[in-house]
Structure 1
Amino acid sequence: MKITIIAGARPNFMKIAPIIHAIQNAKDLGNNMDYRLVHTGQHYDDKMSGTFFEELNIPHPDANLECGGGSQAEQTASILVAFEKDLISYPADLVLVVGDVTSTMACAIVAKKLNTKVAHVEAGIRSFDLTMPEEINRMVTDSITDYFFTTSENANQNLAKEGAKTEDVFFVGNVMIDTLLSNMSKFKKPALFEEFGLKAKEYIVLTMHRPANVDEVGKLKEMMTEILSNVENMPVIFPIHPRTAKIIEELQLKASNLIIVDPLGYLEFNYLVQHSKAVVTDSGGITEETTIMGVPCLTLRDNTERPETITIGTNELVGTDHRNIKPALQKLFKGDWKKGSIPDLWDGHAAERIVDVIKNFYKA
């Protein structure tokens, strides 16, 4: 059987890596499986995409559709056109999409219109916030998916409410955690650790990129000010997203403990997270990684599509009101943060379970 795997943006690469390795292992054992890797080019900065192929031991893509840049609509249209041509030229038995980026939705649409089965890894997660482009991507993708691979019981329940057939939903665990666990021994200390004299558990990692937080200069400045003034003068390391870099320049922040750095590779970034006192973020995926590493996580969002990181893990929703930041940080520095535990099946074997399911559907 032939599988086309889609990767478009930074989070996708972490999710496809263990799936590719599991397919390769199955093929080595004599299973009739092969894959074609298509990179849509949605993220085209080398720090945001290229280095991941090397660090995570993923073969370079069979095709790069080079669909980076433009508005949401322009990018969606570009991917639709380019992937349709690719899939017609290289037919597949199954198109496998991961996560919730524009590429996920666009490639699922193309596959279904060409009568090709679609499998969605990380299906069923919901924030129930339609102001988030990712939520629309999730809903559209799942509405046309054939096989749903889920990370949690919450996702299973969401899909059941939306009418997905029980026999098409497979609770397999979290492929991003597969990647994290398999690479922990390879984490690399970034040069900035020595450059700025960082000490383990004596700095904060900050990431922000969501429009709700970074598009309004005044609001972003309020949030940054609250963070920087309530961390007991600890260094705040901010690997800055390209989207945020343009805006942060306008803030003219004067804080001696703010350290802005370029985006880091996967292995260096997770070393930084693993040894931090806490992470302040508006990312979804990072909340999963901090849960596994036992690192306190403060999420600057009003909702999350990963509630298990809160009910089970080390994450807490702080919200997007800057006034909520101080009490959350006070709780952290008092030592009152919860310890958290590991969600079910976040054990490093999700990709193996996914490939086992696919083998059963496409027996030679």
Structure 2
Amino acid sequence: MSQLSIKGLDVHYDQHQVIKNLDLEVQEGEIVALFGPSGSGKSTVLKAVTGLLNHASGSIELAGHTLLSNEKAVPTERRNIGLIFQDYALFPHLTVSENICFGLVKASPLEKQQTVDELLALVKMSEYKDAYPHQLSGGQQQRVAIVRALATKPDLLLFDEAFSNLDPQFRFELIEEMRAILKNKGITALFVTHNQDEAFAFCDRIAVLNHGRIAQIDNPERLFSYPSDRFVAEFLGQGVWLEARVESENTLSSEWGDLPYQGEKSIAGMIGELVDVYLRPHQIGFTEADDGVFCVEHERFVGEFYQVELEWRQQSLKIRTHSSFLNKRVNIRVKQPVLHVFPKP
């Protein structure tokens, strides 16, 4: 069942159309990311859902209630949406307990205390209920901001770059913790981020935006393995384009040798055609050879592997290896089967 339904959303700033006929369905209890480059429309969609835009058209429904249509636009304060920002947005003059209770206007003192106790226990911060925000770490402040949003029992949680200010060392610990809480409580969430690792770790599905449109939406694994177009392929990770010829329904040939094909879509009808394959660093390796095409003149050890960067056909070719190839001649080899091919433009 859809908790959030966006249909035909259009947003204009002056004469510039930022969002173009965008459709998005978010299921109850699902966490979906809006992911894309700067200017792609991520934050604009978030603002349209919250009602912070006066120039949005289309329809938005949340939990069966219409928030936006040709006839109505529900004010922000009546949309029952929780907002979580990157700067925590806690009230500095209020304690943790008072921050959490801020939106519980109609609750009794006992109900407020029960809510505070339950939510602080959920994030393992019960001993901080009388502390002030300046006495907390960044991660602790964000935990308080999240449970404050949960206190009002919203129909939807919106995260706007909510983890970007945190130390990378603790960021993914908090992401894992918050995902478990949302899943346990069946909370629906929309997550805006420019960080791919955050989107992959936190979300069930990822909507990749490009110039105000959703280029592709899918779970992280499928999105990475089966990009819908060249933009999505390149945006999800640096790689290199390799031309290949379809030789059979499970084999491609290229200047780097034969490539086994194990994709979901049949290429039997493309035999003899030239296609492009997008290869990321983890799919490429070296074979040492006295007559190798490349000579590895520079490499960098980065802990788990060596990283080599070469120039090939005006493309930067980055390769990760588990052993050093410095000053050796090598040929390229493709280490994994090809899962997706792109027709020549």
TM-score, L = length of structure 2:
0.28
Q: Which has the larger radius of gyration?
A: 2
Report which of the two has the higher share of strand. Answer: 2
The structure with the largest helix share of the pair is: 1
TM-score by length of 1: 0.27
